[in-house]
Amino acid sequence: MNILITCGGRRNYLIDYFKSAIGKNDKVIVTNNIEYVSSMFRADIAIKAPHISDPEYIPFLLNICKQYKVGMMLSLFDQDLSMITKHKTSFENLGVIVALSDYNIIQSCFNKNNLNSILHEFGIKTPKTYDSKTKLHKAIKKGEISFPIIIKPQFGSGSLAMGKCESLDNLDTVSNFLQLSLDNSYLSDNYSSKHKNQLLFQEYIHGIEYNIDIVNDFNGNFKTTFVKKKLLRGSSENDTVKTILNEHLWKLGERIGEKLHHIGIMDADVIERNHELYTIDLNPRFGGGYPFSHMAGANIPLAYIHWADKQEAPKKCFHFTENLIITKGIDLHLKIAE
């Protein structure tokens, strides 16, 4: 089965994982609109793509699926998830398994304000969140929230245009700076004129930070949760973690997986404060924390291959060793210029 991974970016390790999981005659095809990124160097077949906003982007992907007889495809970039799942039927009509959740689920995760509402319906705690300064000021006066607070885009990705505000005196300065960052980023494409560049104002939760992978099969059935305690964090991803077995966090993953019925892997950030768990973020894709799970024994790319073939994934795909400290480093890639 040939696999298409779109917007591969710097997730070269995932390309390696899928290459190890497929048959010896199968290929991993990677597309990216920037040619010289590490995932393109690791691919069996690397193809430079149009920008995802280009009208030719979806026809470009459909043509690749036809030309290379793609059996399964997935994406590693938030904005691309929505774009592909809007056209999911077109890919499925070619016999391609789109290993992504449906559009509504992806949009629910991407819209951070709506996500909080959904998680509350599931009985899951999230930080108090306000979608305007007016509402924030009222909440401060009522004593519902105090500084510091987190300010971030309603439709966010990674840590882009997100920051911490320490006091009311700095609120306008910090929010205006983040607004400007948002205006000048690719995230601004996600806002209509009605909701142009909307920021959220969120309770700052200080506590023990965790990254968890919530794994469902391709029918949306929960399979397992992998839990990692964050020890060191880089600019927007985890650098060092400790793998742990924690019943409360495992069951939190189970609850989200069973309620949301997402497809495949879900990356989540959770903070424990005073023995209570707060879910901060959900990303319906392979996240930056997955390689730690893989190094601890998991093999979700192999599970994807089996699920795409309508087979049960082997139990070894969900193996997870606790008490490992794993760090993410930097490696180099060499390619002879043509």
Question: Residue 82: which of 284, 331, 303, 286 has the closest Cα?
Answer: 284
State yes or no: pLDDT of 86 exceeds 80.
Answer: yes
Q: 224 forms bridges with which residues in the sheet?
A: 215
Contact 69, 23 (CB under 8 A): no
> What does the alpha-carbon distance between residue 81 and residue 88 come to, in Å, rounded to a whole number?
10
Tens digit of pLDDT for each residue in 126-155? 999 999 999 999 999 999 999 999 999 988
So what's the pLDDT on residue 158? 63
Question: Residue 214: which of 202, 206, 222, 205 has the closest Cα?
Answer: 222
So what's the pLDDT on residue 194? 46
So what's the pLDDT on residue 185? 76
State yes or no: pLDDT of 157 exceeds 70.
Answer: no
Alpha helices in the chain (DSSP H): 12-21, 38-42, 57-67, 78-86, 88-92, 103-110, 112-121, 133-142, 171-183, 247-260, 290-295, 300-308
Tens digit of pLDDT for each residue in 242-270? 999 999 999 999 999 999 999 999 999 99
Across the chain, mean pLDDT equals 93
Mean pLDDT of 62-68: 98
Of 111 and 191, more confident: 111
Torsion angle of alpha carbons 255, 258, 263, 269, nearest 10°? -10
Weakest mean pLDDT among 14-18, 108-112, 313-317: 108-112
Tens digit of pLDDT for each residue in 24-34? 999 999 999 99
State yes or no: pLDDT of 229 exceeds 50.
Answer: yes
Instruction: For the chain, give the percent of residues with pLDDT over 90.
Output: 84
Compute how many other C-beta atoms are within 10 angstroms of the C-beta atom of residue 329: 6
So what's the pLDDT on residue 190? 59
Structure tokens at 21: 């999981």
End-to-end CA distance of the chain: 28
Reduced to 3 states (helix: H, G, I; strand: E, B; else coil), residue 330 is coil
